[in-house]
Chain A
Amino acid sequence: MKQVISVILLINLIAVIGCSDDETGGNTPGFDRKAMLEDLADNVIIPAYDTLNKEVITLDEAVNAFVATPDLSNLNAARNAFQVAYHAWQRSSFWEFGPAFDVLLMSSVNSFPADYISIDNNIVTGSYDFNTISGQDEKGFPAVGYLLYGISDTDQGIVDMFTVDGDASNRKDYLKAVALDIRTRVSEVATGWSAAGGDYKSVFINNDGTDVGSSVGLMVNELNKFVERETRDGKIGIPLGKRSQGIPIPAEVEAGYSDLSISLASENLKALYNFYMGIGVSGDKVSFYDYLTTINAQYNGGLLSDAIKLQFERAMKEVGEIPSPYKETVEVNPTPAEEAYTELQKLVVMLKADMPSALGVLITYQDNDGD
Chain B
Amino acid sequence: MLNGWVDSQYLMPRFFFSYYGFEWIKPLGEVGIYAMFIVMAITALCVMAGAFYRVSSSVFFLAFTYVELIDKTNYLNHYYFVSLVSLAMIFLPAHRHFSIDVWRKPSLNVSKVPYWCILVIQLQLALVYFYAGVAKLNYDWLVEALPLRMWLPPNAHVPVVGSLFEKVWVAYFFSWFGAIYDLTIPFFLFYKRTRSYAYVAVIAFHIITWLLFPIGMFPFIMILSTTIFFSPDFHQGLINKLRVVLQRMGIYRGSTPKEYDVTTASRWVVSFFTLFLIVQVLLPWRFTLYPGKLFWTEQGFRFSWRVMLMEKAGYVIFHVKDPETGRQWEAYAHDHLTPMQEKQMSTQPDMILQYAHFLEQEYIKQGINDPEIRAEAYVTLNGSGSRLFIDPEVDLTKEQDGFKHKKWILSYKN
Contact = CB atoms under 8 A, between A and B. Distances in A.
A352 interface: yes
Contact of A243 (B322, B329, B383): B329
Interface residues of B, number: 68
Interface string A326-353: 0000000000000000000100111011
A371 B310 CA distance: 9
B31 interface: no
A151 to B, nearest CB: 33
Contacts of B311: 357, 360
Interface residues of A, number: 61
A134 interface: no
Contacts of A370: 76, 214-216
A16 B177 CA distance: 12
Nearest to B363: A245
A297 B5 CA distance: 33
Contacts of A29: 166
A64 to B, nearest CB: 40
B142 A345 contact: no
A31 B343 CA distance: 27
B313 A364 contact: no
Contacts of A153: none
A245 B163 contact: no
Contacts of A132: none
Interface string A296-337: 011111001001000000000000000000000000000000
Contacts of B180: 9, 13
B142 A298 contact: no
Interface in A1-47: 2, 5, 9, 12-13, 16-17, 20-21, 24, 26-31, 33
A300 B216 contact: no
Given A300-B384, A304-B385, A369-B215, A353 B154 contact: no
Interface stretch (B41-49, B167-175, B352-360): B167-175
Nearest to B188: A2
B143 A371 contact: no
Interface in A218-232: 228-229
A3 to B, nearest CB: 11
A246 B327 contact: yes
A68 interface: no
Contacts of A12: 176
Nearest to A32: B156
Contacts of B167: 26-28
Contacts of B380: 353-354, 357
A352 B315 contact: yes
Interface stretch (B58-66, B145-153, B246-254): B145-153
A20 B172 contact: yes
Contact of B173 (A5, A17, A350): A17
B216 A353 contact: no
Nearest to B191: A2
A65 interface: no
Given A13-B176, A366-B340, A21 B168 contact: yes
Contacts of B177: 13
A135 to B, nearest CB: 25
Contact of B76 (A210, A362, A369): A369
B383 A368 contact: no
B369 interface: no
B378 interface: yes
B317 interface: yes
B313 A357 contact: yes
B160 interface: no
B124 interface: no
Given A299-B385, A353-B386, A357-B313, A26 B166 contact: no
A39 B77 CA distance: 42
A368 B151 CA distance: 15
A84 B384 CA distance: 42
A356 interface: yes
A30 B156 contact: yes
Contacts of B8: 366
A208 interface: yes
Given A13-B173, A17-B172, A371-B77, A354 B166 contact: no
B291 interface: no
B153 A295 contact: yes
Given A30-B156, A349-B378, A367 B216 contact: yes
Contacts of A295: 153
A249 B236 CA distance: 74
Which of B166, B172, B177, B380 has most chain A Cβ within 10 Å?
B380
Interface of B: 5, 8, 76-78, 142-145, 149-154, 156-157, 163, 166-169, 171-173, 176-177, 180, 184, 188, 194, 214-218, 306-308, 311-315, 317, 320, 322, 325, 327-332, 334, 339-340, 343, 346, 368, 378-380, 383-387
15 contacts: A13-B173, A13-B177, A21-B168, A24-B168, A26-B168, A27-B166, A300-B385, A349-B386, A350-B386, A353-B313, A354-B313, A360-B153, A362-B214, A369-B217, A370-B76
Minimum-distance CB pairs A-B, first 4? A246-B327, A369-B216, A299-B385, A357-B313
Interface of A: 2, 5, 9, 12-13, 16-17, 20-21, 24, 26-31, 33, 208-211, 228-229, 237, 241-247, 295, 297-301, 304, 307, 345, 348-350, 352-354, 356-360, 362-371
Given A370-B215, A371-B306, 13 more contacts: A13-B173, A21-B169, A24-B168, A26-B168, A28-B153, A211-B214, A245-B327, A297-B383, A299-B386, A353-B379, A357-B383, A364-B339, A371-B76
